[in-house]
Amino acid sequence: MSLATPIAIIYGTDTNNTEEVANKIAKQWSELGQATEIFNISDIDANTLTQYDFLILGIPTWDFGGIQSDWEDLENELTELDLKGKLIALYGLGDQFGYADYFLDAMGWMYEKLQSSGATFIGQWSTEGYDFTASRACINGKDHFIGLGIDEDQQFELTDERVEQWVIQLYAEMMAEME
């Protein structure tokens, strides 16, 4: 079973890493028979988010907790979106060794901005296997991130496996939400 409408994968990027992960996520969904549409947030407006039932949003963290500029430009619109009845999964990129005190902070920022939207968040990801000091993306203490954590700087060899496992997890969570 799959959604009647495509899953929107929306990312912001400055180095193309977040886009590359978006393409890997789309490929995994395709293998499950689910259509996706991929957008760079710089090419659309915030209202595009309201047109899909399932959103996968990607954001990298810059340096000392910096927010990717295209997402940051939409900060006010994000806090005002009505996404009741929608599913959202987040993924974030960061450098856990170079910026251990700010790892995936932008993903935590995104979650904070969208919390009041009425959407249901799925796709929490274990922090096991990561080495960082602090993160705004952590929930349930330090046991889970709000979404998938990717470190293309230090753990690039784990990206494909993490994406594959996460998409399988999302599929199961999506199906449970649809029941």
Whether 131 maps to a domain, the answer reads yes
Indicate the pTM of the whole model: 0.94
Q: How confident is the model at residue 4 (pLDDT cuts 50, 70, 90)?
A: low
Alpha-helical (H) ranges within the chain are 17-31, 69-72, 75-80, 105-114, 159-178
Res. 2: pLDDT tops 70: no
Burial 76-102 (b: 16+ CB within 10 A, else e): eebeebebeebbbbbbbbbbbeebeeb
Closest to 43 (Cα-Cα) out of 66, 81, 78, 71: 71
2 in a structural domain: no
Query: Is 178 among the domain residues?
Result: no
Domain at 61, CATH number: 3.40.50.360
**Average pLDDT estimate for 44-52:** 91
Q: What is the mean pLDDT of residues 45-49?
A: 90
CA dihedral (178, 5, 44, 104) positive or negative: positive
Q: Under a CB-based contact definition with an 8 Å cutoff, are residues 60 and 13 in contact?
A: yes
User: CA 27 → CA 20, 139, 152, distances in Å?
Assistant: 11, 28, 18
- DSSP assignment of 22-52 equals HHHHHHHHHHTT--EEEEEGGGS-GGGGGG-
The range of the structural domain enclosing residue 121 comes to 7-173
Tell whether 45 is covered by a domain.
yes
Q: Identify whether 1 is part of a domain.
A: no
Tell me, yes or no, whether 179 lies in a domain.
Answer: no
Tens of pLDDT, residues 102-150: 899 999 999 999 999 999 999 999 999 999 998 999 987 789 999 999 9
**Considering the domain boundaries, does residue 120 fall inside one?**
yes
Which two structure tokens, joined as six digits, stand for 48? 């595009």
Distances (CA, A) of 14 to 8, 40, 112, 124: 20, 11, 22, 25
Share of the chain above pLDDT 90, in %: 74
C-alpha to C-alpha distances, 66 to 1, 11, 18, 102, 145, nearest whole angstrom: 39, 15, 15, 9, 18
Model confidence at 1, pLDDT cuts 50, 70, 90, reads very low
Task: Give the mean pLDDT of the chain.
Answer: 92
Domain assignment present for 140: yes
Tally of domains in the chain:
1
Amino acid making up residue 104: L
